[in-house]
Structure 1
Amino acid sequence: MLLLLGSCGAVSWAGVANADPLPSPSFSGPLAPNPHPLTVDAGPFGSVAISGQVSGIGGLQTHASHAGGIGNQDGFVDLSNGQIEIQTTQGPLQFYIQAGAYSLPSLGSSYLQATKATDQLFGPVPVAYAKGVITPELTVMAGLLPTMVGAESTFTFQNVNIERGLLWNQEPAISRGVQINYARGPLSAAVSLNDGYFSGKLNWLSGMLGYAIDASNSISFVGAGSLSRSDKSSVATPLAQNNSSIFNLIYTYTSGPLTLTPYLQYSHVGRDDQLGIIRSADTYGGALLVKYALNSEWSLGARAEYLKTTGGTCGADANCTPTNLLYGAKSDAWSFTITPTYQKGVFFARGELSYTGIGHLQPGSGFGRDFNQRDQVRALVETGILF
């Protein structure tokens, strides 16, 4: 896109601040985007805004699996974000492109270094879409879209914590598809036909209905599920979850420096002998996200959550493979994470301490060299700039 703009011969670089915050990518805080992103006068393309993130991450952890890759060692250092966003925000036809390298650290799973994550997950252009503004209330988006599911977003800089949580691990992150959005007053709604867990098959239907009760309270309901069978299986496309349905009830309370976001989650994977899913299984989970601004530069984030699986067991059937959605059939897990954050201008630094525990562990599905350890502690540091 930069080469295309350069070839137009009508580009002038004007570091002009946007009057309003850029709509994408979303920030739930405590990190805040650069309020003065670079704006390019691209002639017939209109005003194009350019922003991005460059950040590094370092970590120490107990009970690493040592199965290969830097994230499975006791300590690691890596790039967490090296991304740029190019977008237009005015006119009837707009676009958004997010490109670069990234890692997606999450609790309870091995850390995948940025080069491997970018290659094995969503590629060097994870999010990109065209947006048609039909009316001020009604828009249509098509392309690589962020999911509507869950209360946490995909990339580290978007969230209260550096790592995503256990509930996030069950959710789709980015999907290819078409989405219709509607917002009027306190009501917002969206519906999407997409490929779920990045399967390449447009067989998922997702929907969201939100209501802002007042300035401090809002609530939303999200539902998504597959409409037909898909046999795709990869790092980005877990077979069982990609043939499931998932639902959220999300509530947000804001009062001055404090934000509380409790949410509930349920998912169901049905039996499908053709896919090798011999037993149906469900997950039930709940989480609380907390954000508190100590002052204009320092803030504190925290997350507590619990996730349980039911079903999926085979009993005495020796030819059956259990349906494993967590740490074995009928396993459960819980976590606690605390993340102090410092930001001054475009620079930020934050630390994180997390604990993940497993109950009803299936042998060979846990942490550690032999995958039989029931808990893991991680200490992380992330620092960088939001330009």
Structure 2
Amino acid sequence: MITMRRQLLGLGFVAASSLFALHAAQAMSGPTAITIDGGPLGSLALSGGVDGYGYYLGETNSNGNMPGTNKDIGANVANGLVELQKTSGVLQFTVEVGSNGGAVTLGTAPSQTTISNLSTGPLYAGYVTVAPTGSPFTVSVGQMGSLEGYESGVDWNNSNQLTTGIFYVENAQDRGVQLNYSQGPVSASVQLGDGYDTGVFNFLQALGSYSFNSNNTLSVFYAGNLGRTGLNAHTYAGTGNYNTTSVYNYGSYFDNSQMVGAYYSYTNGNLNVVPEVQYQIAKADAQLGQNKATSNLGAAVFGDYSFANTPYSLGGWVEYFTSHTSSLDNSTWFIAPDAEAVGFSATPTWQYKDLFARADVGYLYLLNRTQANGTKTGFGSNANDRGIFQSTLEAGLLF
């Protein structure tokens, strides 16, 4: 069920020779590439998918990242992505184009898919890879997916459409250079690029995995700024500085942070269980308006089960996260400053060959809703509710 695979903003369905090593939750099977004749380029692999969903989000308020004051019911296109790869020979390449927006973090308002999230528009990934014959090392240069975390940015690669707060704070994609190593049970990647798509090339990422056997794999990752990225840098969906309202509304502490994390994949027959923990901290920096250190801790357990000889599977996760911020900065990692919460998501899935449909139900509950400055935050029109319910109904076609 769990295989070594690469991720292009989470598009982790390519061959084992692909770039990113990710043990993605695969209760649902991802796209199957179509082999085409590339003439002088040799054999090429074409794959992709399109999906959409209806959703319900309980009553929220405008504090922190909370979306609006009314119950939200609607429908969105989730993804429309096409990927072309050359995965053989010394010189390889990957190009992925389209629109992405189907992975919805529990507790946030869904949005229509868009090509405006990244500075490169519809180009979500584009890189070349040099793979010397017989060498365990490869080198890739271009726009690539993040090495952080377990969950994917393309929803059909996850067992659940709703994602955790751990996923929300991670870097999704950047441009840079990456060195990869794979030999026996060990694989590792190190990447230097512009974390959070800032255009400032001072962000280092690393991922190392060790497979004890076919059923047990440990992965450890790191991501951090090697210097300082100033307030004039762009970030996701932003065309101005960090104060510009954007889809993700990231602050300077995200790109000027240090992150460590790990996840462990255990498979037993049709069952896969993956615990994950992640810690992120940004030190005090007066030039960035960060008067005190701010941090975020998240932990989750993911599980999926495929029912034998049927088109059905069941995915789910439980999460916990807490953040610590300054009353002067009012920094928000997820939901609201100083938020502490638990949540869960459950997703029954039906898939017949390249067609799939699934429902996702989730609930997020605030354990703490008092910020460092004493302000109360919460859900509901008066910000007095601790919990919020969210659900989606999704269908798609993969190829």
Fold shared by both chains (TM-score > 0.5): yes
Q: Which residue of 2 aligns with 1:61?
A: 57
User: Within 2, Cα distance between the matches of 1:71 and 1:84?
Assistant: 36
What's the CA shift for 1:91? 0.8
Q: Which residue of 1 aligns with 2:312?
A: 298
User: Within 2, Cα distance between the matches of 1:358 and 1:345?
Assistant: 39
**Structure 1 counterpart of 2:316, which letter?**
A
What's the CA shift for 1:105? 1.4
Preserved CA contact (<8 Å) 1:259 1:292: yes
User: Within 2, Cα distance between the matches of 1:375 and 1:333?
Assistant: 9
Matched ranges for 1:1-387 at <5 A: 23=18, 28-35=25-32, 37-65=33-61, 74-103=72-101, 104-115=103-114, 118-121=115-118, 123-134=121-132, 135-230=134-229, 231=231, 232=233, 233=242, 235=246, 237-296=250-309, 297-310=311-324, 312-314=325-327, 320-361=328-369, 362=371, 363=375, 365-369=377-381, 373-387=385-399
Higher relative contact order (CA 8 A, sep 6+): 2
Cα 1:184/1:178, change in 2 over 3 Å:
same
Cα 1:287/1:101, change in 2 over 3 Å:
same
User: Within 2, Cα distance between the matches of 1:127 and 1:72?
Assistant: 36
| Local SS of the residue matching 1:223 | strand
Kindly name which structure, 1 or 2, has the bigger radius of gyration based on alpha carbons. 1
What's the CA shift for 1:371? 5.1
What's the CA shift for 1:370? 5.3
User: Within 2, Cα distance between the matches of 1:338 and 1:90?
Assistant: 38
**Structure 1 counterpart of 2:360, which letter?**
E
User: Within 2, Cα distance between the matches of 1:313 and 1:43?
Assistant: 59
What's the CA shift for 1:364? 6.8
Preserved CA contact (<8 Å) 2:345 2:363: yes
What is the root-mean-square deviation in Å for CA atoms of aligned residues? Answer: 2.6
Cα 1:100/1:51, change in 2 over 3 Å:
same
Of residues 65-74 and 179-188 in structure 1, the stretch that sits farther from structure 2 once superposed is 65-74
**Where in structure 1 are there 5+ consecutive unaligned residues?**
1-18, 315-319
User: Within 1, Cα distance between the matches of 2:169 and 2:343?
Assistant: 15
**Structure 2 counterpart of 1:326, which letter?**
F
Cα 1:43/1:374, change in 2 over 3 Å:
same
Q: Which residue of 1 aligns with 2:239?
A: none
**Structure 2 counterpart of 1:54, which letter?**
V
What's the CA shift for 1:32? 1.3
Q: Which residue of 2 aligns with 1:9?
A: none
User: Within 1, Cα distance between the matches of 2:275 and 2:83?
Assistant: 30
Question: Would you say how many aligned residue pairs link Structure 1 and Structure 2?
Answer: 361
Preserved CA contact (<8 Å) 1:71 1:113: no
What's the CA shift for 1:182? 0.2
Of residues 351-360 and 226-235 in structure 1, the stretch that sits farther from structure 2 once superposed is 226-235
How high is the TM-score relative to the length of structure 1? 0.86
